[in-house]
């Protein structure tokens, strides 16, 4: 799995889908490996990492197999139709995210480890996640995303902060951490000042291709 990331992922987290489309077996082999593993037999952190990895590779597989050229929105059912078999059950991308991850783990850092194939997504991790290092990996991915202006842009002269709509769509996921701003400030080098107005920016669904 890391071999595919090394070969097709650029330093900024973009993906060379065109080359992958010339070598589709590279991602098909990974999907076959994922489907041969029983996640229910794993320890909690191993399972959590496995589901995140499965989501990210299933997105790549869906883009390659679906002939997606510019955006996953070319297929309006992309997150429902792309499915993977796990332990005899079939799960869609939506089900992996909302039922397997959000509902079971209550960990908002997950949002910064999942890559949905769009430019506004947090960048694809340079390595697969694993249970032993998962806490550190999730912290690192969250810190990387929240210190990037794609996700958090503080405009001091206007006293506003422009946030990724991820924080609007899933605002209830951040309540346990004291809300969106407090969560962000845990990972920011420069904290969002008190009293700044939050503005949610438009999500760029163009393909995260290099």
pLDDT number for residue 53: 97
Question: Is 107 domain-assigned?
Answer: yes
pLDDT over threshold 90, residue 19: yes
Identify the bridge partners of residue 197 per DSSP, sorted by sequence position. 160
Q: Name the 3-class secondary structure at 83.
A: strand
pLDDT number for residue 88: 78
Residue 35 and residue 18: Cα distance in Å, rounded?
25
For residue range 32-84, list pLDDT tens digits in order: 999 999 998 999 999 999 999 999 999 999 999 999 999 999 999 999 999 99
Question: Is 209 domain-assigned?
Answer: no
Question: Is 167 domain-assigned?
Answer: yes
pLDDT over threshold 80, residue 87: no
Q: Are 155 and 134 within one domain? A: no
Q: Are 169 and 138 within one domain? A: no
Instruction: Give the largest Cα separation in the chain, rounded.
Output: 55
Last residue of a domain, one of 146, 166, 195: 146
Neighbours of 180 (CB within 10 A): 21
Q: Are 157 and 138 within one domain? A: no
Angle among Cα 184, 114, 203 to the nearest 5 degrees reads 70
Q: Are 16 and 81 within one domain? A: yes
Query: What residue numbers bound the domain in which 183 lies?
Result: 149-204
pLDDT over threshold 90, residue 137: yes
Q: Are 102 and 187 within one domain? A: no
Paired tokens of 103: 């509902």
pLDDT number for residue 170: 97
Q: Are 137 and 160 within one domain? A: no
pLDDT number for residue 195: 94
pLDDT number for residue 58: 97
Q: Are 97 and 170 within one domain? A: no
Could you tell me the pTM of the whole model? 0.96
Q: How far is CA 47 from the centre of its chain?
A: 16
Q: Are 192 and 135 within one domain? A: no
Q: Are 31 and 79 within one domain? A: yes
Residue 89 — pLDDT band, cuts 50, 70, 90?
A: confident
């Amino acid at each position: 799995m890391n071999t595919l990331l090394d070969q097709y992922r650029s330093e900024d987290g973009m993906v060379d889908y065109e080359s992958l489309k010339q070598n589709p077996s590279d991602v098909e082999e990974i999907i076959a490996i994922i489907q041969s593993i029983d996640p229910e037999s794993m320890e909690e952190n191993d399972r959590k990492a496995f589901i995140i990895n499965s989501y990210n590779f299933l997105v790549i597989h869906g883009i390659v197999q679906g002939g997606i050229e510019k955006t996953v929105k070319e297929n309006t059912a992309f997150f429902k139709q792309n499915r993977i078999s796990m332990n005899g059950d079939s799960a869609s991308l939506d089900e992996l995210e909302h039922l397997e991850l959000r509902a079971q783990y209550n960990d908002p850092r997950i949002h910064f480890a999942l890559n949905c194939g769009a430019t506004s997504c947090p960048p694809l991790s340079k390595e697969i996640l694993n249970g032993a290092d998962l806490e550190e990996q999730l912290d690192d991915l969250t810190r990387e995303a929240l210190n990037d202006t794609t996700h958090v842009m503080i405009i001091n002269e206007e006293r506003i902060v422009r946030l990724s709509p991820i924080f609007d769509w899933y605002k209830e996921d951040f309540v346990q951490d004291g809300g969106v701003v407090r969560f962000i400030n845990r990972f920011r080098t420069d904290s969002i000042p008190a009293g700044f107005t939050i503005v949610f920016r438009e999500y760029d669904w163009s393909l995260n291709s290099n």
